[in-house]
Amino acid sequence: MRSVLRSPWLLLTPSIVLLLVLFGWPLVDGVLEAFTDEHGFTLTHWQRLFDDPYFLDALRNTLLLIVIVVPVQLVLAVAMSLLVQARPRFVSGHFYLWCIPLAISELAAGLVWLSIFDNRGYLNSLLVSLGLSEHGVQWLSYDNTATMLLTVVLAEIWRATSLVFVIVVAGVQMVPREYDEAAQVFGASFWQRLRHVTLPMLKPSLQVALILRTILALQAFAVAQALTGRDFPLLVGETYEWYVGLQNPAVASAVALVVLAISVGTAVLYLRTVRSPSEAES
Amino acid sequence: MRRGGPSQVSRRTFLRGAGAAGLAGLAGSGLAGCTGFATTGDGGMIFLSTQFRPVNEAEAFRSTLAKTISGVSYVTIEEGPFAGQVRSQVGSGATQMGLLGGLHGDLAPLADGYLEDVTDLLSDLSGRGFPADYVDLARSGTDRAWYIPWADASYVLAAHADALEHLPSGADAESLTYDQFLDWAIAARRANGGRPMLGLPLGPEGLFHRFTQGYLLPSFTGGQITTFRSREAVSAWQYLRELWANCNPASTTYDFMQEPLESGEVRMTWDHVVRLVEAPERDPENWRMLPAPRGEHGLGYMAVLAGLAIPKGSTDPELARDAIRALTTPRAQLDVLRSNGFFPVVDTEIPGNLPPAIQLEADAVAKQKNADDAILSLPPVGLGEREGEVSKVFQDTFRAIVLGGADIRSTLDAQARVLQGVLSELNVPCWAPDPAAERCEVG
Amino acid sequence: MTDATGSTAATANTAATSAQRRALPPVDHTPLRRRRMRAAWVQFACILISLFMALPIVLVGLSALSSRAALAEFPKSLLPSELSTETLQAFLQATGTFPAFGNSLLVGLYTVFWSLVVGAPAGYALARYAFRGKEPYQVFILLVRALPIVVLSVPLATMFLQFGVYDTVFAVTLVHTVLALPTTVLITASIFVSVPHDVEEAAQIFGCTRWQAARKVVLPLALPGLAASSIFTFVLSWNEILGATVVTLGHRTLPAQVLTSLAEASQAYRFAGGFALILPALLFIFVMRRYLVNMWGTTLR
């Protein structure tokens, strides 16, 4: 029988209490909205949601964005952490520059990249002044889905890689150098060391980074909205549209529940599959 | 091993402790620590509004407001949080605002239940000469008035000299027909090396659905809802297809036309006056604002009404009423016109010494209003929260027919069913330009 | 050694070394060259990534200082043709910008403090203890970030109104602390996991209680993780718009006051406002980055 002081729940209680008090009722209320109207339990809101032409596109786009962006960011962040580990010259300057996009809000990042990809933006200015194009390319045109996806992916990678990078770099420093050096002494090549020494020890950080980045990526819509308007609909953008534009909180809650389900699903997936050795034992 | 050792750690802990103590002291030191600094400027009664959000517009209005009445602080907010704030505050009986300002679409859904009944104030002010249509809108389908008309604005065409050069010969810019407008767009495009000069506000926050609702369809068909599926409506959408072929495809990202106009990407457009007014600021001689084109049935145009309302449980109802009285005097209305481009709704002469860009706008709107065959269209009346769904019908129709290339007849039939569904549930009479009937039915 | 064998050995040695010296192989520069090449490639990659990350900000900064006329030209040049601080000034002098700035700063610092106080112990518990309900707890913590906050706005505002703390910095701090809990708890947990257990046990053997061991030994070692989560928390709080808009009216934070109107303002104001908003968060990261990169005692200068 463990004493109360030895139990973890004492340490966990403040967070649980805070969450329940502040968000408990609003959460339940919001969820119930999606399933009820004045007459009681109903699925009409879900019916309306699925009839809407934008919903399935939004679902597809959101999943596509995550599948493309998250792995790229993970690989990029690990590469950046290893570069920092190699301690080149000016490493503190580089490090600071790589953390800069953290400070930018989604809305501001969308506006920044809009000024680059706009028809009269910086990218087209560069192309025109170099003579590579006469009037610039229409990067954000609604019938050009490939370039739309490209611009949104690029902007998202820019905005959020720093998040994954900061988490991974904090974890990379926890990897004792002795292990890596020992592997070097035993003749392991760079890739072998990466696969068998560094990455396994990074598992806790990678797991956290994956979970957080995926959940936040599901919430991202301000950047895509700034760049493409409603030509590239995303799930949370649709939530806003139903709540604010159409003043229909019930259908908005339904979309929010879809987002919640996907988030929780992927979180549970990561928690189960990306397990660090010590956790696996317990 | 660790350089710096224990002394470095303890220095850090000391700094942390000092920082925490400092914060705790600040928090304990009273108001600023816990409540925060007041961002309203002078801490008067809060006037919450969805209008004039951009920083320069808000500042211009604040100085006009200070001249009109004192003790009122202007706070801007987006439409969504506006409704949320009013609902949550009035709902819990702890209203923190004194006065509300917004468009008809912002205030009408809140009418019954969240706003004070201002019928008596409206009859007090009947001497000001509010147009009857606007008073009707203020009633939102009931028999009591829920807000006082404050200002109106409309949508006009704007064109730069570069585009005006290619106006078809024989066409008078101030009284174009839709066909002439299309020819003009085609000519401008040809002269520009195949790149369109026309742009339209088709972005997610753009107001193009008002064009189809209030300008195109009434001019072609004579109505908005009752003629939704008529033969003339089909030709209207076909016309729009041809117009789109000569329109800048980046228009689906334009929320406000003043940016593309200023950068030169677009040289002729249609948009809300407030979103056009900054473009000609630097070189007004090169710009013209024109009334909308006319169709077979006449010159359909739509007016946007902004109103002032008092929330239930207002912090200072007396001051709110005084503010409303002050803001609806002719002098204050003209001040707002000068500073922000919103038109007076009271009976007053528009002076001739307005800033050049505003002058352009005022002339165009006046010509539109006073045309012989003008057809006034109103935004939906009495639909409450579901007005957004009517706008959505027009937006979805455009997207399907013009951007998606779907068959016009079947799309109109499908969307007509959606529209009828909304109207049947609410059982409301039609609004201008459709003839008022007991129940509104889609034609 | 006897003299005879010693002297012959000595002469044999000198003969051998001089022969060796004559026949020394040339110095192999390849490993050195390989290292130099590697360092050069690493530097090149770092520069490329730094350009990618920093260029948009530099563009925004330069545009914020351009005049409106310069912004309307096409093609835009990299360096502004006309410098002017007019839009920046107008933005900073607008009503309520400075008080809102103060509010944002207060909320940011309070949120960092409270999220660490509430979140770090929870992270420690997740890292050190194995218990049933671990996974459900982690999913529960994530729920608040997994749901779009817009659908919670009216119930949340109603609750604050009823508690009487509506429209205060305190209310915004509460909302932001809860929003920051997932990142704080999960990041600190992953860091505490990596702190070796034996160091903590050694401290306990030397007489510390569990709390003392945690405070004196684990906390300093976990500093990078704590710094990382405090950076996230501050930046999240600094940039958060909707939650702050919903629970405040007259005591707003900077994003609630300004950011939403930026998207509708003309381009010049967008750049000025965006740039003014970015600067303080950049400053905070600049201050905190030293704690983040603490590679076993040597700090990156």
Touching C: B residues 81-100, CB under 8 Å = 81, 84-85, 87-89, 91-92, 94, 96-97
Residues C83 and C109 in one domain: no
Distance of alpha carbon A12 from alpha carbon C227, whole angstroms? 21
Select the more confidently predicted residue: B347 or B436. Answer: B347
Measured distance CA(B311)–CA(B314) in Å, rounded:
5
Let me know whether C72 and C131 are in one domain.
no
Distances (CA, A) of C108 to A28, C111, C178, C254: 28, 5, 13, 11
pLDDT category of residue B30 using cuts at 50, 70 and 90: very low
Predicted pLDDT of residue B5: 45
What average pLDDT does chain B have? 85
**Better-scored residue on pLDDT, B380 or A279:** B380
Contact map slice: C 68-127 vs A, CB within 8 A: 74-78, 117-119, 121-122, 124-126
Asked if B188 and B198 touch (Cβ cutoff 8 Å), the reply is yes
Q: What average pLDDT does the segment A165-193 reach? A: 82
Closest CA to A269 of B104, C221, C142: C142
Task: Please state which of the ranges B44-58, B182-196, C210-224 shows the lowest mean pLDDT.
Answer: C210-224
Dist. CA B440–CA B424, nearest whole Å:
8
* pLDDT bucket at C298, cuts 50 / 70 / 90: very low
Alpha helices in B246-294 (DSSP H): 258-263
Q: How far apart are CA A156 and CA A167, in angstroms?
A: 17
Cα end-to-end distance, chain A, whole Å: 19
pLDDT in tens, C186-225: 888 887 887 778 888 888 888 888 778 778 888 887 877 7
What does the pLDDT average to over C171-186? Answer: 90
ipTM for the complex shown: 0.84
The two three-digit tokens of residue C137, written as one number: 């707890």
Average pLDDT, chain C: 81
Domain extent at residue C87:
31-94
Give the model's pLDDT for residue B16: 61
User: Is there a domain that residue C119 lies in?
Assistant: yes
Which among B124, B121, B119 is positioned nearest to B144, based on CA atoms? Answer: B119
CATH number at residue C164: 1.10.3720.10
| Number of residues that this document lists for chain C | 301
For residue A101, list chain C residues with Cβ-Cβ distance below 8 A. Answer: 53
Beta strand pairing call for B72-76 and B99-103: unpaired
A-chain CB neighbours of B244 within 8 Å are none
CA distance B77 to B84: 11
CATH of domain B11-153+303-348: 3.40.190.10
Least confident of C15-24, C184-193, C275-284: C15-24
B219 vs B373: CA distance, rounded Å = 10
CA distance C113 to chain B (A): 8
Query: Confidence band (pLDDT; 50, 70, 90) for A280?
Result: very low
Q: Are residues C257 and C144 in the same domain?
A: yes
Instruction: Mark whether C76 and C158 lie in a shared domain.
Output: no
User: Three-state DSSP class for B93?
Assistant: coil
Highest average pLDDT, of B97-101, B221-225, B276-280, C198-202, comes from B97-101
**Residue bearing the bigger pLDDT, A39 or B350:** B350
Contact (Cβ atoms closer than 8 angstroms) between residue B406 and residue B400 = yes
Of all residues in chain A, the percent with pLDDT exceeding 90 is: 21
CATH 3.40.190.10 residue ranges for chain B: 11-153+303-348, 155-301+381-426
**Which has the minimum average pLDDT: A20-24, B31-35, B71-75?**
B31-35
Q: Provide the pLDDT confidence category of residue B2 given band limits of 50, 70 and 90.
A: very low
Q: A83-110: per-residue pLDDT in tens?
A: 888 888 888 889 889 988 888 888 888 8
Q: What is the pLDDT of residues A116-158, one digit of tens each?
A: 888 888 888 888 888 887 777 888 888 788 888 999 999 999 9
Instruction: Round to whole Å and give the CA distance between B410 and A134.
Output: 41
Residue range A170-188: average pLDDT?
81
Higher pLDDT, C74 or A16: A16
List the single range of B145-149, B263-267, B361-365, B437-441 with lowest mean pLDDT. B437-441
* CA–CA distances in Å: residue B244 to residues A53, B182, B239, B251, B402: 22, 10, 9, 10, 7
Q: What is the pLDDT of residue B153?
A: 87
Lowest mean pLDDT among B249-253, C125-129, C297-301: C297-301
Q: What is the mean pLDDT of residues B110-131?
A: 89
Which of C36, C176, C190 to mutate to test binding with chain A, by most A CBs within 10 Å of its CB?
C190
Percent of chain A at pLDDT exceeding 70? 95
Pair of tokens at residue C205 = 């053997």
Q: What is the pLDDT of residues C224-244, one digit of tens each?
A: 778 878 888 898 899 888 888
Q: Is B316 helix (H, G, I), strand (E, B) or coil?
A: coil
Amino acid in the structure at residue A190: F
Does residue C140 belong to any structural domain of this protein?
yes
Is C271 touching A (CB cutoff 8 A)? yes
Nearest residue to C279 via CA among C242, C238, C236: C238
Q: Is the Cβ of B31 closer than 8 Å to some Cβ of chain C?
A: no
What pLDDT, on a 0 to 100 scale, did the predictor assign at position A234?
92
Average pLDDT over residues C161-177: 90
Whether residue A57 contacts residue C262, with contact meaning beta carbons closer than 8 Å, is answered with no
Provide the residue type at A72 as one letter: V
Query: Looking at CA atoms only, how far is residue A143 from chain B in angstroms?
Result: 8
CATH numeric code, B155-301+381-426: 3.40.190.10
B282 touches chain C (CB under 8 A): yes
More confident residue, C46 or C4: C46
Closest to A138 (Cβ–Cβ): which among B80, B249, B392? B249
Q: Which residue of C has its CA nearest to A84?
A: C46
Contact C129 A22 (CB under 8 A): no
Residue B157: predicted pLDDT? 92
- Closest Cβ–Cβ partner in B81, B91, B94 for C246: B81
Dump pLDDT digits (tens) for A158-174: 999 988 998 888 778 77
Looking at the predicted structure, is the pLDDT value of residue B115 above 90?
Answer: yes
Query: Which residues partner with B152 through β-bridges?
Result: B305, B343
Average pLDDT value for residue range C269-284? 83
Specify whether the CB–CB gap between B137 and B341 falls below 8 A. Answer: no
CA B342 from chain centre, in angstroms, equals 11
Partner-chain residue, chosen from C49, C74, C118, that has the shortest CB–CB distance to A80: C49
* A82 burial level (CB within 10 Å; 0-12, 13-18, 19+): middle
What is the SS3 string spanning chain C?
Answer: CCHHHHHHHHHHHHHHHHHHHHCCCCCCCHHHHHHHHHHHHHHHHHHHHHHHHHHHHHHHHHHHCECHHHHCCCCCCCCCCCECCHHHHHHHHCCCHHHHHHHHHHHHHHHHHHHHHHHHHHHHHHHHCCCCCHHHHHHHHHHHHHCCHHHHHHHHHHHHHHHCCCCCHHHHHHHHHHHHHHHHHHHHHHHHHHCCHHHHHHHHHCCCCHHHHHHHHHHHHCHHHHHHHHHHHHHHHHHCCHHHHHHCCCCCCHHHHHHHHHCCCCHHHHHHHHHHHHHHHHHHHHHHHHHHCEECCEECC
Question: Do C77 and A93 lie within an 8 Å CB cutoff?
Answer: no
Q: Is residue C26 part of a domain?
A: no
Question: What is A48-275's CATH topology?
Answer: MetI-like fold (1.10.3720)
B160 pLDDT higher than 80: yes
Nearest to B253 among A143, A228, A241 (CB): A228
User: Exposure pattern of B268-279 as b/e (b: 16+ CB <10 Å)?
Assistant: bbbbbbbbbbbb
Does residue C37 fall inside a structural domain? yes
Banded model confidence at residue A5, pLDDT cuts 50, 70, 90: low
Query: Rounded CA gap, C240 and C254, in Å?
Result: 9
Burial of A25 by CB count in 10 Å (0-12 exposed, 13-18 middle, 19+ buried)?
middle
- Check whether the bond before B351 is cis (ω within 30° of 0): no
d(CA B130, CA B346): 5
Give me the residue from A19, A84, A120 closest to C181, CB to CB: A19
| Structure tokens, A272 | 């189960």
The span from the CA of B315 to the CA of B96, in Å, is: 6
Residue C148 reports pLDDT greater than 70:
yes
Give the pLDDT score at B152: 87
Please give the distance of CA C94 from its chain centroid, rounded to a whole number. Answer: 30
Choose from B1, B208, B253, B402 for mutation: most chain A CBs within 10 A: B253
Out of A1-15, B41-55, C97-111, least confident range: A1-15
CA distance, residue A251 to nearest chain C CA (Å): 10
Q: Where are the domains of chain A?
A: 48-275
Nearest to C169 among B34, B54, B259 (CB): B34
β-pairing verdict for B299-309 and B99-103: antiparallel
In the block, residue with structure tokens 């600071």: A96
Highest mean pLDDT among A160-174, A248-262, B129-143, C223-237: A248-262
A143 min Cα distance to partner chain C (Å): 24
Please give the pLDDT value at position B411.
92
Token match 């020890």: residue? A201
Residue B387 has a pLDDT of: 79
Chain B residues touching A228 at Cβ < 8 A:
253
In the block, tokens 């351009």 appear at C66
- Do B55 and C269 form a contact (C-beta atoms < 8 A)? yes
Lowest mean pLDDT among A210-224, B51-65, B166-180, C77-91: C77-91
Q: What is the pLDDT of residue C44?
A: 93
Q: Which of B8, B14, B31, B37 to mutate to test the interface with C (most CBs of C within 10 A)?
A: B37
- What per-residue confidence (pLDDT) applies to B184? 93
Kindly give the pairing relationship between strand A36-37 and strand A40-41: antiparallel
3-class state of residue B375 by DSSP: strand
| Predicted confidence band of residue C112 (pLDDT cuts 50, 70, 90) | very high
Answer for the pair B368, B343: CB distance below 8 angstroms, yes or no: no
Which 3 state secondary structure label does DSSP give A106?
helix
Same domain, C37 and C120: no
Same domain, C280 and C144: yes
